[in-house]
Amino acid sequence: MRLTYLCNMLEHKDILRFLCRAGIQVASDDAVEKVRHAFAEFVFDVKKLALVNTEAGGRMTVRADDIVAALQAHSFHMHMYGIEESAHEVESTEQDEADSTVSNDSGDESASDVSNDSDSDAEDTMQEMENDTEDDAAFGEGEFSDAEETSQLTHDATYIAEDGLWTHADGFYRIEDTQMQQALASTSENSNPYLVSRAVLLQMWTAMTTLPITRAALSALHNAVEHAINRDLVHGKLGAQVLYCAMEAVAIQEATEADRLAQELAACQAELAKERAAATAGRKKRGLRDPTGEENAPPSPSMVTPVKRIDDSKRARTTPRLNV
């Protein structure tokens, strides 16, 4: 599977929330895409490692311990504690796998036995559904889960004010320092600990594999990927890559602007030369000599003869008097 398909499941506003908490106020479009790719790549790599542990255990459902083992084997070497399956969920998973094995090996049973088994399986399924409903309130104490589709709207509503603080122009996302502080302050009052909806993680998982995943395992994966992206933005190479992308985009913009100004200057000079050529042709047509630069130039101060002033006493002696 191409990571581009997984990246498209993440919206730009999801990535901007990570940048805000990493203290990044300016990011180019390429930088946002790089973070999206890092998010999808982490989920994809953990999925591959988790499936190895699941197959080694002979199971057909990915559990929390599979995710924990995958995180330890990942290049990030993350150790997660406190993620445990509920006893009821583990028993239900093992029972489902056992039922699947028994059903595959019972092809030689009579029709009446199959009918009776089907009835009993239906009753067991109804009982398990009732138990799941009763245990929902107690399951995952201290764990936030919003895998339901309706919670996607609820999740986005909690960040609608923060998402509106970002502006996008000329290929850059920007947020002012005061607005960033405002967003972080509102986050501290937010009861939602996740920046990306759990439904997005579930959508990614179902797109990558047909094996089901337990809620505790999905929660572990969700916690791990958000922690990994935030840590890589603050202390890892991902933050440096975001900065490099922004600087590269600024340099490209400046080079493009310089080329545009140079082209405008060349066009103005060509237009001026064209006007001068037309004026020269008109003078020649009327028989007028085209003035040279030396004729139009002002005289040099050294070529100007200074005018001598005559004193009043000398003027009186030299001026003849008339006798009346």
Mean pLDDT lowest among 90-94, 140-144, 237-241: 140-144
The mean pLDDT of 142-150, rounded to a whole number, is 44
Determine the pLDDT at residue 270.
Answer: 87
Determine the pLDDT at residue 222.
Answer: 92
Q: How many residues does the chain have?
A: 324
Per-residue pLDDT tens for 56-80?
Answer: 989 999 998 999 999 988 877 776 6
Q: Is the pLDDT of residue 225 over 90?
A: yes
Of 152, 241, 166, the closest CA to residue 201 belongs to: 152
Contact (Cβ atoms closer than 8 angstroms) between residue 85 and residue 63: yes
Mean pLDDT lowest among 78-87, 123-132, 234-243: 123-132
Give CA separation, 37 vs 15, 31, 91, 280, in Å: 10, 10, 37, 63
Structural element, H or E, at residue 174: strand 172-174
Please spell the DSSP secondary structure of 238-268, one letter per residue.
Answer: HHHHHHHHHHHHHHHHHHHHHHHHHHHHHHH
282 Cβ contact list (under 8 Å, min separation 6): none
Where does the pLDDT of residue 258 fall: very low under 50, low under 70, confident under 90, or very high at 90 and above? confident
Q: Is the pLDDT of residue 240 over 70?
A: yes
Where does the pLDDT of residue 154 fall: very low under 50, low under 70, confident under 90, or very high at 90 and above? confident
Q: Is the pLDDT of residue 173 over 80?
A: yes
Determine the pLDDT at residue 82.
Answer: 58
Determine the pLDDT at residue 279.
Answer: 81
Determine the pLDDT at residue 89.
Answer: 52
Per-residue pLDDT tens for 8-50?
Answer: 999 999 999 999 988 888 899 999 999 999 999 999 999 999 9
Q: Is the pLDDT of residue 131 over 70?
A: no
Q: Is the pLDDT of residue 135 over 80?
A: no
Determine the pLDDT at residue 205.
Answer: 93
Contact (Cβ atoms closer than 8 angstroms) between residue 170 and residue 217: no
Contact (Cβ atoms closer than 8 angstroms) between residue 227 and residue 151: no
Tell me which residue has tokens 């595959």: 104
The pTM assigned to this predicted structure is: 0.63
Per-residue pLDDT tens for 186-195?
Answer: 766 666 778 8
Per-residue pLDDT tens for 87-130?
Answer: 445 545 444 544 443 344 444 444 344 344 445 554 554 454 44
Contact (Cβ atoms closer than 8 angstroms) between residue 245 and residue 28: yes
Query: Higher pLDDT residue, 148 or 53?
Result: 53
Count of Cβ atoms closer than 10 Å to residue 83 Cβ: 20
What domains are there in the chain, each with its CATH number? 3-105+144-253 (1.10.20)
Tell me which residue has tokens 């916690």: 223
Per-residue pLDDT tens for 289-324?
Answer: 555 555 555 666 666 666 666 666 666 565 555 554
Q: Is 68 helix (H, G, I), strand (E, B) or coil?
A: helix
Which residue type occupies 119? D
Count of Cβ atoms closer than 10 Å to residue 110 Cβ: 8
Where does the pLDDT of residue 158 fall: very low under 50, low under 70, confident under 90, or very high at 90 and above? confident
Of 161, 192, 185, 199, the closest CA to residue 16 belongs to: 161
Determine the pLDDT at residue 249.
Answer: 80
213 Cβ contact list (under 8 Å, min separation 6): 61, 62, 202, 205, 221
Determine the pLDDT at residue 105.
Answer: 46
Where does the pLDDT of residue 133 fall: very low under 50, low under 70, confident under 90, or very high at 90 and above? very low
Of 148, 227, 216, 157, the closest CA to residue 192 belongs to: 157
Determine the pLDDT at residue 313.
Answer: 62
Q: What is the mean pLDDT of the chain?
A: 75
